[in-house]
């Protein structure tokens, strides 16, 4: 891995043009916004709407991010698919594009045993020639990676950590605790409201969807923590937690983040999946933008 995965990685949105197609030019602009604040890039994740992208589009998104970053910050690409074989196929193509690591959600729709998850992840890590992060998001996949399973998979030399997006502090802490004495295995926090606490407990990075809207606000959580100013790091966290509370009350995260980012003045297009905002929804998001559109002065 050419870059250490530390600090903030933005779960970057996938911009679509007026025809609903992936727009590399709009994506490059968003990548530059993140680089300005030293945020790494996590592409093709939940906020990137991977679930409505085909393989060619995922490769286009990844290639665009890698080329625009040009080594300045880490790039991690999500490659999780339902089948092991398709995940490996995508992972090999993504690896050829020059990412620093890949991330893999548990297969979704079909319930799996923990032993089957171990087989799935081990096969991927054996076949894909870049480091692999596990990605736990049971609310979307229906399959939970248990802490004991993560500990077993941490023994694989090509599995370097886990992103936990279960949503609760208890889940995040359970992974931190179980792998605390395991070398070369990091825990990345997924929920934006747990970034500061995750850093306090030992997370190496946070993966932030809200950094699309407030790249500086999220970056300040890490930068103040890194510099030892826990009070300012917590204040930045409180700002982002407030943003999360009011924005996510309107709609599922990817669509809400995209709409707020557009209303902020950044063209990232509409979400592809079937979500429609009412006038009341738009008014609520405009209030959030007016309240949180400026980064905190910390």
Rounded to 5 degrees, what angle do the CA atoms 154, 155, 157 make? 95
Please pick, among 121, 135, 234, 258, the residue that the annotation labels catalytic. Answer: 135
- For the beta carbon of residue 214, count every other beta carbon within 10 angstroms: 25
Two structure tokens written together for 167: 């949503």
Two structure tokens written together for 228: 């030892």
Can you give the length of the chain in residues?
298
Q: Is 58 a catalytic residue?
A: no
- The phi, psi pair for 148, rounded to 5°, reads -65, -35
Q: Is 135 a catalytic residue?
A: yes
SS3 49: coil
Please pick, among 58, 163, 223, 259, the residue that the annotation labels catalytic. Answer: 163
Two structure tokens written together for 14: 């996938």
To 10 degrees, the CA torsion angle through 66, 15, 77, 121?
-160
Rounded to 5 degrees, what angle do the CA atoms 83, 86, 90 make? 140
Cα distance between residue 24 and residue 28, in whole Å: 6
The residues assigned a catalytic role are: 135, 163
């Amino acid at each position: 891995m050419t870059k250490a995965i530390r600090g903030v990685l933005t779960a970057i949105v996938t911009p679509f043009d007026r025809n609903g197609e992936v727009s590399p030019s709009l994506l490059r602009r968003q990548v530059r916004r993140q680089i300005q604040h030293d945020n790494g890039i996590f592409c093709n994740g939940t906020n990137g709407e991977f679930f409505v992208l085909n393989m060619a589009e995922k490769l286009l998104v990844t290639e665009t991010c890698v080329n625009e970053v040009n080594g300045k910050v880490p790039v991690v690409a999500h490659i999780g698919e339902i089948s092991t074989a398709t995940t490996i196929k995508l992972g090999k193509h993504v690896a050829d594009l020059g990412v620093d690591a890949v991330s893999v959600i548990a297969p979704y729709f079909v319930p799996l045993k923990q032993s089957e998850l171990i087989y799935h992840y081990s096969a991927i890590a054996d076949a894909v020639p870049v480091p692999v992060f596990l990605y736990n998001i049971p609310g979307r996949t229906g399959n939970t990676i248990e802490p004991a399973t993560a500990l077993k998979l941490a023994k694989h030399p090509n599995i370097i950590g886990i992103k936990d997006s279960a949503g609760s502090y208890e889940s995040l802490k359970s992974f931190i605790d179980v792998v605390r004495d395991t070398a070369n295995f990091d825990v990345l926090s997924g929920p934006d409201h747990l970034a500061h606490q995750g850093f306090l407990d030992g997370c190496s990075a946070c993966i932030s969807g809200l950094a699309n809207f407030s790249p500086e606000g999220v970056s300040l959580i890490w930068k103040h923590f890194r510099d030892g100013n826990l009070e300012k790091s917590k204040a930045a966290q409180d700002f982002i937690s407030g943003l999360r509370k009011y924005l996510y009350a309107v709609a599922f995260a990817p669509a809400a983040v995209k709409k707020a980012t557009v209303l902020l003045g950044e063209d990232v297009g509409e979400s592809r999946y079937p979500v429609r905002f009412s006038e009341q929804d738009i008014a609520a998001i405009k209030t959030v933008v007016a309240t949180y559109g400026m980064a905190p002065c910390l």
